[in-house]
Amino acid sequence: MKSRRALLYVPGDDLYKIQKAATLGVDSVCLDLEDAVAPNRKELARLTVRDALGSLDFGSTEVLVRINSFYESSLASEDLHTVLPAHPHGIVLPKVESSEPLLWVEDFITDAEKETGLPAGCTATLAMIETARGVLNLGRIASAGSCLQALVFGGEDFLTDIGAQRTVERMEVFHTRSEIILHAAAYELQAIDMITVDFHDIETLQREVAQSAQMGFSGKQVIHPAQIQTVQAAFTPSDEEIAWAKGIVAAFDEYQRQGRGVFALEGRLVELPHIRAAQRILARARP
The binding site for ligand COA (CB under 6 A) comprises: 8-11, 16-17, 20-21, 32, 35-36, 195, 223-225
- The item of Mg ion, ligand COA, none sharing an interface with residue 193, based on CB under 5 to 8 Å by kind, is none
- DSSP character string of 142-184: HTSSSSEEEEEE-HHHHHHHHT----SS-HHHHHHHHHHHHHH
Stretches 22-30, 59-67, 129-137, 186-194: which one binds Mg ion (CB under 5 A)? 129-137
Min dist CB 124 to ligand COA, Å, is 18
Among 204, 199, 195, smallest CA distance to 177 is for: 195
Q: Which is nearer to Mg ion, 151 or 270 (CB)?
A: 151
Min dist CB 51 to ligand COA, Å, is 17
Cα dist from 211 to 116, 176, 189, 195, whole Å: 42, 14, 19, 13
Residue 157 interacts with Mg ion (CB under 5 A)? yes
**Among the listed residues 154, 155, 219, 237, the single contact to Mg ion using CB under 5 A:** 154
Min dist CB 74 to Mg ion, Å, is 19
- The item of ligand COA, Mg ion, none sharing an interface with residue 96, based on CB under 5 to 8 Å by kind, is none
Residue 27 interacts with Mg ion (CB under 5 A)? no
- The item of Mg ion, ligand COA, none sharing an interface with residue 49, based on CB under 5 to 8 Å by kind, is none
Stretches 109-117, 123-131, 177-185, 229-237: which one binds Mg ion (CB under 5 A)? 123-131
Distance CA 125, CA 105 (A): 8
Name, in order, each residue with C-beta under 8 angstroms of 128's C-beta and a sequence gap of 6 or more: 66, 92, 93, 94, 95, 96, 134, 152, 153, 154
Specify the 3-state DSSP secondary structure of 193.
strand
Distance CA 261, CA 285 (A): 26
